[in-house]
Every structure is written in structure tokens, then in C-alpha cells.
Amino acid sequence: MTRNRSRSLLTIVLLVGAMAFSGTRAAASGAEIQRPLKVSLDFVSVQPTFDCAPGLFPQGAAGTGHLSHLGRVGISGGQCNNFATLEFTDGFGTYVAANADSIDVTYSGQASLSPVGFDGEGSAAIVGGTGRFEGASGEFDFTFTTYVAPDGSGRTLLDGDGWITYDASNRRDK
């Protein structure tokens, strides 16, 4: 009976080990998993290279930041501003990591006047990317403060939290 128990135990151990190995392999082979996302951006306004609908005013943006899953990023993008309501719409951005992998987003939100310039909040959708973020999706909510200098220039600090889904096996170094 001891021999049968040993065989049964060995069979169970081998089955559990095989299941664990195959699960690890499936996850490593490209299963898309929803992951938490933290966003921290620091950018300035730049000359826009796009147009907006009548009554809205284009604003370009460039800067740097940090996103979980990408690390330090360069950012570029823009939005259309309604100066009467302080709403911003049709926002778009690309966040590029050091290895050239990138995430593309669209966003919108609402600003309000503050003693330093503007405060606000919004939401963004992740709509794709390149490298391991090809086909990425997700979303994040954000808050920001824009500090406006006497000469009219501004610096915006933005923080956000959300989630991202991507196939981590889509790597350029494979």
C-alpha cells in the first residue's frame, strides 16, 4: 500500500507540475493580461500642427514623463480647447519609451481656473501602440495642474491611474 501511495503522490506531483509549467508557458506565450497603469507627465505647449473644429483652438504638447510598463517616455500630442467652457476635446498623444515602443492615446476633459493657471481632470483611452504595445488597449483617469507664467507660457503636470492590456510577448528583441 505504501508503494501505491508513493506512485499516487508522484503522479499528482507530476500532474501539478505539468499544469503549472503549461500555465506559465501560456502566459509567457502572449496571453493578454489587464495590468495596472500609473501615468506621470510633465509637458509644455508647443505650436500645433493640426486644426480643430470652428470655435475650438488647437494646442500642441511636448514633454517627458513616466508610465508603468514603459518607464521614462517622450510625449507629443495635442488637443482642441474651448476657451468659453474650458473643455478640451479630440486630444491625442503618443508616449515613446527609450527602446522606441510606444502607446497611443485619445483623451478629453475639463479644466477650471486656479490661482496658478488651470486645474482639471479627464479620461484617456489607450488605442494602440508599437512594439510590445501593438494592439494595446486600456484607459486611465487623470488630474492635472497647468502653471501659467506671466509671459503666457505654461507647464503642465499630470498624474493618472488606470489599466492597460497588451501582449507582453510582442517584443522587438525576440
pLDDT bin (cut points 50, 70, 90) of residue 169 is confident
Q: Is the pLDDT of residue 2 over 80?
A: no
Q: How far apart are CA 67 and CA 46, in angstroms?
A: 22
Report which of 50, 52, 62 is spatially closest to residue 87, judged by C-alpha positions. 52
Quote the DSSP letter at residue 149: P
The pLDDT, as a whole number, for residue 159 is 98
Residue 99 contacts residue 131 (beta carbons within 8 Å): yes
